Structures are given as structure tokens and as C-alpha cells.
Structure 1
Amino acid sequence: MRESGHFSSIDSKILVGQENSEDAYFALHVTEKPSLTLDTALAFSTDQLLSVEFELEENNLFSSMLRLNTNLGIGLFWGRQSFISNKFVWPFIFGGPFRFSLQAPVIIYDDKTSQVEPFRRLQSKVIASLEWRASPILMPYLRYSLTHTLRENFPNDIVPEISTQEHIRSIDGLIPVLHAQGKIRGMIKPGISLINLDNPTDPHSGIDLNNFVELSGGPLVGDPFFINLGTQNKFYIPLGSTTLALQLSLMRAFITPSSNNWKELSEVSAMDNLGGDRRVRGYQEGAIRPAHAISDPGQYGGYLLNSSSIEWRFPLTSPELLGNFSGALFVDQGLVVECKNFVCGDHVSWNELVARKEFGLSVGVGIRYNLPVGPISLDFAYSPLHNDWRPHLQFGYAF
């Protein structure tokens, strides 16, 4: 009952019978927490712009300890992403350490017309997940997702300018996307995560590890078939009043490299272009991407993604005097290349790799104002390889 989180107090007593002192009774007194909550928030980042978000959560559905969570994000006209998501959670299956969740429907509209390869996309998803709480920090999981994607691409990567009236009539570009040809793809994802953080919104020490395999195609639904092996890791090391934060992601996907297959892969898997607010901050969102220069990738061809960051976070002011400001110095790097069989990146020289923006490096500084729910971050990142710099303003950390 304590693990369910539905009760504010749980007290137990042994009572002796009034008529017979040999009789004893076990009494349990519980006070239930309010189960229905509504939260509102404003989300902002340089890449996604502004979004108004609402979260409605029922933690004791039908008085059976089942959870229902509904999220709504409105970014039409003033942002680049809108979404609605419903999540049903059975937190303790038959009282055991297993948790089942079903997200249906999940509808996401992305306006990525600011990227190097611009597009608009509408995705509808159903996601089923089974998790095993092996320990307070260790959780193996198994997920299956079914995604229907509608995507509008732009010839020669040129987005036509439209009038304000056309912008409103098209509902921020959503109507043309609805006329695009759709495609359905299923994906199964077994994995294991290990999370042990002192503070989930502002970590000072701990680790966050996630290792997984993503498979799609054949009986799982989708063509062509692919396998993506991945690991995503974060480390937070306390150094007195400062924190050294590190992030490392490494993925290897097996699929015939081509422009269309890369789009298929990045639509549903963890593989994606790099750059933007959270990955290699010295570059425009999606700027670091494969060039597709291999003519014969072989039977085991595919893609390799490697991104890492190191960030030193330190206090700037005393919270009692000038507010809770902190600073940061960081270095990011990212690589997305094609593979010929089991060899990745050897088909081009280092200079070609940089010129094609398959590799990116950025250095930068940041200032944050720390709130109880997390920081407001302003980062300035510079790319010494491509002589470009970008500012990033967002809620939360990059990682």
C-alpha cells in the first residue's frame, strides 16, 4: 500500500478486546490522497518554440489503483510541436513487481520546416509496455509500438512562403500533411535501464543507463526490416559544490543505407539526425546527418551514431542574495555515418566527414536560473570546425 503512493498516511495498531483480554485485533487506518490532479505548464526551447501543456492524472481509476494520464501540448501557430497522449498504467500486476502500461492514442504533429531537410509530420501511435521492477533502480522492459506516419516533404528542401490567411486556413500546415500517403510500422524494443539519481530534475550525483535493441519489419509490421542496437548513458559526478555531467550515446543500425531508409529508421527508432538544443548544440537542429555516399554497403551495412557531451556545472550566486544562478562550460561531439558491412566511416576522409557535416564538434558556455522544478537554461555554443554559433534557450538541462 505504501508503494502505491495513493495514501498520505498508513497506521496500524494491535487492539486488545474489551470483554476478553485474550482477544486481539489488528486495526489498519489509512488516509487516501486526492487522486485526480490537473497541471498546466509552459514549455519553451529554441528548437520547439512555445507550447502550452496540460496534464490530467487520475491515480486511482475505478478505486482499483489503476492510473490514467492524459497530456495535451498545443504548439500550433506559435510552436513547432503539438501532441495529445493518453496513458493507462497498471502499476502492480497481481501485487507483483511488474507494471503494464498502454499509451493510446498518442498523436504528435511536428513542424520541422526550420531543419536543413525540412518536413512536416503527423504520427499516431499505440505503445504497449511491460516493465519489471527488479530492484528500486534496475528495470528490464519490453515495449511494442505501432506507428502510422503521414509526412510532407519539400522538393529541393525549399519551404514555400504562404500568406497569413493560408497559414490559418491550413491550420499551421496540418491540412496538407493529412493528404500525404501514410505508412504503418511496428517495432519491438527489449531493454534494461538503471537509474539512480539524487534529484531527477536537477541531478548532482548518480547514473542513468539505458541499453536496448530495436527491431522492426516482417511479422512486426514494416518494410524494410531493421535492427538497431543502442546504449544511452548519463553520469553525474559531484565535485564539491559543482557537478561534472557526462552523456554518451552509441547506436549501430543494420539496414541498407539510403535516404528513404534513413527516414524510415529515424521515424520510429532512437536513431536520428544530430544538432539543436540537446545534442551537439553548435549546430542547427538536424544538421549532422549521413551523406549517403556508399554505393555498395554489403549485407551488414547500416548506420553508426555516436554522440557525447561533457559539462561542468557550478554555482554563480548565493540563492539568499542574488537568486539561484549557476553557470556551465561544455563540449559536445556527434557523428552519424554509413557503414559498409561492419566497417563504418572508412569510405571518406576526415576532411570529407567534416565538410559533409557527418561529424560535428561544439564548445560553449551557459547560464541557468534554478527553480524547484528545474532550471531555465541559456546556452551559447560555437562550432570550431564550421565557424558557426547558436544560442539555445529552454526549460531544463540539455541532458
Structure 2
Amino acid sequence: MENLVPVHPGEVYDRDKVVLYQRRLLESGYFASVQAEIDVQRELADAAPLRVAVIDSPKHHVESGIGYNTDVGPRFETRYSNQDVFSSAWRFRSSLNLDQKIQNLQLDLDTPPRPGGVWNNLFTRARQQDIQNETTRELAMGVSQNYGATAAPSAYIVSAHAEDRTVSGVISDTRHALYFGVRKGFRRTDALISPREGYVLSAEIGGAPNALASQQFVRGIASASLFFPLSRSGDLLLRGQAGAVRSQAREGIPSTFLFRTGGDQTVRGYAFESIGVEEAGAVVGGRRLLVGSVEYTHWFGDNWGVAGFVDAGNAWDAGLRSDVATGYGLGARFRTPIGPIRADLAYGALRSDWRLHFSVGYGF
């Protein structure tokens, strides 16, 4: 607990830091419940103690669930975690996700946080995807050093990727890369699950050198979600994402580092990741990405709302593009403890097509 605390004796009280501390403790996985509050007695105002009450998580935890969204169809997920591997305070986590388009197995091993909220993660992943007539099978493993005790967590990442790729059942190749990257996040919102005010920002830059990859590249991506309460019953959400890969060609770069867009959480009115580079009857990832969205929600009571939105974006391979895929429409919202349930009817202007989108939560 001491290693994650963002406040220090003698500092002026900052509610946001106390909320951040609670969130970091919950996210660590060691605790099932956290309550942090300052002693408000006047006689202690110059040196008020911060009281923290926690309930430990069970050592072993298993959860499974089924779900559905219009991007990938029916979905099954199961997770297992051990919060104290070999009585060392190291955490082991495993997750298996299965749906019609993506099958993913990931194993993680986390060190306990050190002073300043520094911790390491080791991971390995096996993933198969069949999206827009492109099939990929990826094996990846890596390590990261994470700095998580501040409002702007960051991570340094080294990961190895090997991928077999088939396009339209005809074209096939193998790609690999040893990736070095740094990731930074910024978050300040009034609520963790369904915020009405604040922002969530993230950025990552990295690359793979020529000697350690089938295609040398440098990659950067940034995203932002901005929340504005316009009235007691009206919310405005602005979303944006931009990415670019610098390389001699996209061929040889593992698909996880390229860009496609379209679907429930990006550009509505289009099928999941159907906006990208056309190749032999398939849509594959490109080296450029630009997406933006404006959404207004009017709430009726505490839980029900109606939204209007406009999305626009594209993913392409080189140069500048003047054709932008736009989608607009109306949707229904229902607030739940895991985030808003969203049902949207959107018109994709570029392809003159209507699509129904169903999802839960926000895509930060």
C-alpha cells in the first residue's frame, strides 16, 4: 500500500490524489475493496491523517462470462488470477477470449509494486484473427516496466512478435519484429466507469530496428476522449485518434502495428475494421490512421438516454487522403455499473449503408 501512495506528509490536501490512490489500489488486484478518507477534525487540519481501509482479494479468483456485440458477435471470456504466487506477492493472470473473429490467450506475471508505484510485467500471448478476409496467427512475448503511482502512468515495453498471415486464402507470408516502445497515459475524470466530465489521453511511440524485424519501422499513436457536461441532463463526448507508421513499405510489418478502423467504438455505420487498405479482396492494415467523433447524449432520469453522433475517419497506407468515411445516426443509452449499454443505428455515407451497433462501455 505504501508503494502506491501518491501523497506525502506535509502536502496540501488534494482530493484527486486520494481518488487516484483508491483506484491504483483496486487496479493492483490485491484488494477487493478500498476506502480512503481524510480525518476532517479541525484540530488536525495542519496534519490530517489519511485513513485507508481495505479488504484483501481472495488468493485465487476465477470469473467467466458470455456477451455479444455487433463487431465480433457472441463472445466467451474466462479469467483466472493468483494474487500471491508461491507466497511472493507476485501476481499471475490468465485470460481466454473467444469470438467469431478473434481468439486470444494471454498469460501475465506481475511483480509487486516497488516504491513510487514501479512494477514489472511479463506476458506471453497467442492470438488468431480472421477479419475482412485476412487471417493472422500471432505469438508474442514481452516485458514492461510500469510507473503507476501518478495521474499520468507510463510504461517502457520490449516485446517480440511472430506472425503468419494469409489474405483471401491465397497470399501468405511470415512476419516478425522485436519492438521497443514507451507508453504514456493521462486521466482526470469525475467517475471511473461512466464519466461525465474530464479527459482520458494516451500516447505510444516505438519501433523495431532492421536487424531485428522483417521490416524496419517507427510507429506512433495517440488517442483522446473528452467529456463535457453541458447541462444536468446533457453530455458531450469528443473522441479522436491518430496514428502513423514510418517505414519503406507496410509489407513485413506484423499486423498488430498497422491500422484499420470501423465498428462499434470507432466509425459507426461500417463493419468491424472494414476501413483500411484493399489487397486481393481483403481489407488489411495501413500505415496511417485518423478518426474523430462528436456525440451528444440527453438523459431522461438517472439511467436512460438518447444520443446523436457523427463519426469520421480513415485508415490508409501512404500520403494524404481526401476521402473520409463518415457515419452518423441516433442511439439509445442505459447506464449500468459496468458502463453504458449503447445501441446505435448509423448510416455509413461512404458506402450508403445502414448498420446497427450494440456495445457496452466506452472505448478509451
| Range of TM-score over shorter length | 0.7 to 0.9
Instruction: Give 1:123 deviation, angstroms.
Output: 1.4
TM-score by length of 2: 0.77
Distance 2:312 2:105 in 1: 33
Over 3 Å counting, the alpha-carbon distance change for 1:149 and 1:257 in structure 2 is closer
Q: Which residue number in structure 2 is paired with residue 244 of structure 1? A: 236
CA deviation after TM superposition for structure 1 residue 379, in Å: 1.0
2:114 equivalent to 1:122: no
Instruction: After TM superposition, list the pairs within 5 Å mapping 1:198-277 onto structure 2.
Output: 198-219=190-211, 221-239=212-230, 240-257=232-249, 260=251, 264=253, 267-269=255-257, 271-277=258-264
Aligned: 1:61 with 2:52: no
SS in 2 for 1:268: helix
Name the SS of the counterpart of 2:340 in structure 1: strand
Counterpart in the other structure of 1:72: 96
Q: Is the 8 A contact 1:134 1:140 kept in 2?
A: no
Tell me the equivalent position of 1:145. 159
1:31–1:209 CA distance, 2 compared to 1 (3 A) = closer
Does 2:70 match 1:39?
no
CA distance, structure 2, for counterparts of residue 211 and residue 187 of structure 1: 16
RMSD, aligned CA: 2.8
- The answer for the alignment partner of 1:154 in structure 2 is 168
Structure 1 residues 379 and 192 mapped into 2: Cα distance closer, same or farther (>3 Å)?
Answer: same
Letter in 2 for 1:268: T
Structure 1 residues without counterparts, runs of 5 or longer: 11-28, 158-179, 293-301
SS in 2 for 1:248: strand
- Deviation per residue, 1:112-150 (Å, 9 max, x gap): 2xx2xx122221111311111362x11121112211212
Residues 170-217 of structure 1 show CA distances to partners (whole Å, capped at 9, x for unaligned) of xxxxxxxxxx76432221111221122333332212211112212013
> What's the secondary structure of 1:138's corresponding residue?
coil
One-letter code aligned to 2:101: R
Relative to 1, partners in 2 of residues 1:51 and 1:385: Cα closer, same or farther, differing over 3 Å? Answer: closer
Structure 2 residue matching 1:283: 3-state secondary structure? coil
Looking at structure 1, the residues matched to 94 and 169 of structure 2 have their Cα atoms a distance apart, in angstroms, of 37
Whether contact under 8 Å (1:282, 1:383) holds in the other structure is yes
Q: Which runs of 5+ in 2 are unaligned?
A: 5-24, 36-52, 280-285
Q: Which residue of 2 aligns with 1:100?
A: 120
- CA change 1:141–1:47 in 2 (3 A) is same
Residue of structure 2 equivalent to 1:363: 328
CA drift of 1:283 comes to: 1.6
**What is the rounded CA distance, in whole Å, between the counterparts of 2:73 and 2:312 in structure 1?**
24
Of 302, 326, 329, 2:308 maps to 329
8 Å Cα contact 1:380/1:391 also seen in 2 = yes
CA 1:64–1:275: 2 relative to 1, 3 Å = same
CA distance, structure 2, for counterparts of residue 303 and residue 181 of structure 1: 18
Report the 3-state secondary structure (helix = DSSP H, G, I; strand = E; otherwise coil) of the residue aligned with 1:273.
coil
- In 1, Cα distance between equivalents of 2:183 and 2:55: 37
> Could you tell me which amino acid in structure 2 is paired with residue 308 of structure 1?
G
Taking only the aligned residue pairs, the percentage that are identical comes to 22
Read off the aligned partner of 1:227 and give its amino acid letter.
Answer: V
Find the partner of 1:283 among 256, 267, 270: 270
Q: What is the distance in 1 between the residues matched to 2:106 and 2:165?
A: 20
- Aligned in 2, Cα 1:32/1:371: closer, same or farther, shift over 3 Å? closer
Between the aligned partners of 1:31 and 1:291, the Cα distance in structure 2 is: 52
Aligned to 1:109: 128
**Number of equivalenced pairs:** 315
